[in-house]
Each structure stands twice: as structure tokens, then as C-alpha cells.
Amino acid sequence: RALLPVRVLFLCTGNSARSQIAEALTQQLSDGAVDAVSAGSAPKPLDPNAVRVLAERGIDIAHRGSKHLDEFAGSRFGYVVSLCDRVREVCPEFPEHPDLIHWSVPDPGREGSYHAFQRALAEIGTRVGFLLERIDARRVTAS
């Protein structure tokens, strides 16, 4: 029996860099086992440095737009991950009480340098790896 993909929602204020990076890395690293999406509480256009840093890893997000978290109201997720402190305070309730996880990742757009985006990518990549291990462990014990 095939397991359905686990759904994960990544949130940050602008949905312009951090949550988009987390969504893209999760999709790539889970090989489709995780259905990752992202949104923001005050969406801004996708940051060109986020597009560039992911392109260097072979991930194309240039076609993606930013989404408002209201688009996912009422949706079911296994995990909801906030990547900034501001969005954590306004995160709505989701059905079936998903695991709420908070990663306080500095906003690379605030510093603005390409190096800041590389650091954010590295930090988010490490955290996504741990999240995928947690999801795998839970799936093994549940089946």
C-alpha cells in the first residue's frame, strides 16, 4: 500500500525567500514523498537572489509566485513550519492540529547580500534534512 505524501506548509512574512527556499529544498530532497508548499502573511515578489541561489543547486523557482497564507486556510497539513518570528504570531489554526515547528532564520533580504542568501540556503537545507528524518521516523512507526 502506497503512503500518501506528507503535506508541509512553510511560512514567513513575505514568502519571497526563506519559505520559498524551504519549499523547493523539501520537494527536491524528499523526492516527492513530501508535498511542500509555502506562503506568507504579507507576500512580496520573489527575491531574485532566492531564485539565483536555488538555480545554483539545479532548482528553478523563477516561475513561482508568492502566496498569501489565507490561500491555505482550512487545508490539512502534517507540519506547519514558521521561518520568522512575525509570521509565527499570526499563524492561523489548521484542521487536525498539525505539528507546529518554528525555525527562526534571519531574513537574507534584510542584509541584501548574495552571501546572506547562501547562508540562509545552507541553514534551511540542514533544517529540512532533520525535518525529513523526523517525517520518515514517524511514518515508519505509524505503518
Which are the contacts of 73, defined by CB distance < 8 A and separation ≥ 6? Answer: 92
Residue 24 vs residues 28, 64, 72, 78, 90: alpha-carbon distances, Å: 6, 10, 18, 17, 23
Q: pLDDT tens across 53-63, in order?
A: 999 999 999 99
The total of other beta-carbon atoms located within 10 Å of residue 129's CB is: 13
Which are the contacts of 96, defined by CB distance < 8 A and separation ≥ 6? Answer: 76
Catalytic positions are 12, 84, 91
Q: pLDDT tens across 17-53, in order?
A: 999 999 999 999 998 889 999 999 999 999 999 999 9
When the pLDDT of each residue in the chain is averaged and rounded to a whole number, the result is: 91
What span, in angstroms and rounded, lies between the C-alpha atoms of 124 and 122? 6
The confidence band for 73, taking pLDDT boundaries of 50, 70 and 90, is: confident
Task: Reply yes or no on whether the pLDDT at 98 is more than 90.
Answer: yes
pTM above 0.85, yes or no: yes
For residues 9-16, average pLDDT:
94
8-state DSSP, 93: P
